[in-house]
Amino acid sequence: MKINIKKICGEDIISRDAGKKIRDLLLENWSAKCIEISIGKIPIGSASFFDEAFALLLKREAKTIDEIKHKLKFVDICDDDRKLLNYVLMARITEVKMKA
Amino acid sequence: MKIIKFPKSPKLKYANSLIRSVNEVLSTKDRQVFFDLTATEELDALAISFLCGLINMTLENNPKVSIKYPLNKKIKSVVKLLEKSITSDKLHETKIQSNSFQLRKVTSNNNLYIEQMLTLLQIELKFGESTRGSLRIVLTELLTNSIDHSGEKACYICLGRWPNSPYLHLVCLDFGVGIPAKLRTRFPELDNDVTAFKNQHEQGLTTRRARDGGRGYRLIQDILMANKGRLNIISNSAKVSYKYDKGDYKVIASKEGFTGTCVDIQFNPSRGGFEETLVKQHIEDFF
């Protein structure tokens, strides 16, 4: 399964609304063994987008970080976006642990 | 005819005069409007953003805008550049650029404008990738906040460097509902704008309390703390002034209030901020 963020979200690849589109698509296809995610040349740079698209899988959809790491493959994520993705994932992991 | 005078030094310290101009423009309709900049001796990101916003706002309700130029030649050339761009494209995305600053009027969640600004300025001002990455995060967060929450679907983003300041100056200005007003609609127990800001500072600056989200300003603050920069917000009748380089944090009433939000950031160009935040918070490499 391949997801191209630019094709799905169009011009807006930074808002929470855009992130929700991606999360919904991930959930529809969660049974796939592997989901390849392509971002494209322009970095996203949006904590809101990454949180809504990926990190909320932890809090709202009860996915584990191991599941997410195993299933999602970011084929062209730049270093800045990769660090931002890790940042929002860590924030939600901490939040989920504190509530448990 | 209506004359709106710009002050000698329309910088953050004297932002009240700019706020006053916003209210004058809002109360002016169907008149010929002059922006008098004859006394203005300096401009920075704040003044440029307000000037563009004020001219655009004036053109929505008045047939004609004219500018009386500053006497200072350097400032005059910047103002001419602004005037040409705004009045010829009054209904479209405004793009203004010079060697030391970039300004865009943005009306959608489109991060291409941010990448353009960063690329062009990085060439001129020669800041590093760490600075660029941190600025991208801050600018993107401010853009989405304005477009998604202000109710106006337009904001002015200005980024640049000015003489006599060691910082990169970044402004995001909109004429939407304002942060305290939005907070107080959601939480009526917050009885004034200063209380609204203070209360939210204790829980992180967000209008999304008790809903998912609202981490944006927290991340901006973390970056600026590591960067030893400064965060200033003027919105409705309150002002926030956080000087991370001095450990000085204030939330006070603004002498002049306005419907809108102005975020004015001073960013240390020799540092990033996000990288240090990752180290400090022990962020793991999941990907």
For B68-119, how does the pLDDT look when each residue is reduced to its tens digit (9 = 90+)? 999 988 889 888 888 877 766 543 455 677 778 999 999 999 999 999 999 9
Contact B278 A74 (CB under 8 A): no
| pLDDT at residue B100 in the model | 87
* Model confidence, pTM: 0.94
- Pick A80's closest partner by Cβ from B133, B216, B281: B133
CA distance B286 to chain A (A): 6
| pLDDT at residue B38 in the model | 94
Angle (CA) B201 B208 B255, round 5° = 45
- Pick A15's closest partner by Cβ from B144, B274, B278: B144
CB of B147 less than 8 A from some CB of A: yes
CA distance B130 to chain A (A): 9
| pLDDT at residue A42 in the model | 92
- Under 8 Å CB-to-CB from B202, ≥6 apart: which residues? none
CB of B63 less than 8 A from some CB of A: no
Task: Report the domain count for chain A.
Answer: 1
* Window 15-44 of A, Cβ < 8 Å to B: 15-18, 42-44
- Give the Å distances, CA to CA, from B52 to B27, B35, B113, B130, B165: 18, 11, 17, 30, 22
ipTM of the complex in this document: 0.96
Which structural domain, as residue segments, surrounds residue A20?
2-99
CB of B214 less than 8 A from some CB of A: no
| pLDDT at residue B5 in the model | 93
Contact B286 A48 (CB under 8 A): no
| pLDDT at residue B91 in the model | 39
- Pick B287's closest partner by Cβ from A16, A80, A82: A82
User: HSE-up of B234 (CA within 13 Å, CB side)?
Assistant: 25
Find tokens 């009526």 and name the residue. Answer: B188
Chain B residues within an 8 Å CB radius of A43: 115, 136
Find tokens 């855009």 and name the residue. Answer: A18
* Tokens coding B153: 């679907």
Say if residues B152 and B258 touch (Cβ distance below 8 Å): no
CB of A74 less than 8 A from some CB of B: yes
Contact A14 B148 (CB under 8 A): no
| pLDDT at residue B207 in the model | 57
- Pick A44's closest partner by Cβ from B111, B147, B213: B111
The two counts, helices (H) then strands (E), for chain A are 6, 3
- Pick A16's closest partner by Cβ from B112, B115, B213: B213
Domains and CATH numbers, chain B: 1-92 (3.30.750.24), 93-287 (3.30.565.10)
CB of A78 less than 8 A from some CB of B: no
CB of B208 less than 8 A from some CB of A: no
Blockwise average pLDDT, block size 10, chain A, 100 residues:
96 96 98 96 95 96 96 97 97 89
Identify each DSSP E strand in A21-63 by its residue range: 35-38
Residue B12 DSSP one-character state: G
- Pick A11's closest partner by Cβ from B108, B141, B283: B108
Segments of chain B with pLDDT less than 70: 87-95, 202-214
CB of A70 less than 8 A from some CB of B: no
- Under 8 Å CB-to-CB from B72, ≥6 apart: which residues? B40, B41, B42
| pLDDT at residue B93 in the model | 53
Number of Cβ within a 10 Å radius of residue A8: 13
For A44, the closest chain B residue by CA position comes to B111
> Which residue of A5, A6, A9, A16 to mutate against B (max B Cβ within 10 Å)?
A16
Chains A and B: how many Cβ contacts under 8 Å?
Answer: 99
